[in-house]
Amino acid sequence: MTAFTCPTPDCTSTRKAGQYLCWDCWDALPATARRALSIRDDLATARLQVLHRQLAAGTSPAEIEIRL
């Protein structure tokens, strides 16, 4: 099983292929963000980019907002 680095800057855990974040960071997301990111439609890639942008800007997983 290939493991990837979790995209959260302060996180040293790994995520699996098909996961956006490691389990700890995923669990830390607000339920609304988790629900939005779980939808697999034409906007899924855009939602992932919003997630990565917020994480890169220093937003903690608990404060991520996905409004797509």
Smallest gap from residue 13 Cβ to Zn ion (A) = 5
Our CB check for Zn ion shows the closer of 14 and 44 to be 14
Our CB check for Zn ion shows the closer of 5 and 43 to be 5
Look-up of token digits 């409004």:
67
Q: How many alpha carbons fall within 13 Å on the CB side of residue 25? A: 23
Our CB check for Zn ion shows the closer of 22 and 29 to be 22
Strands (E), the chain: 3-5, 14-16
Residues near Zn ion, by CB under 5 A? 6, 8, 11, 13, 22, 25
**Which H or E run contains 57?**
none
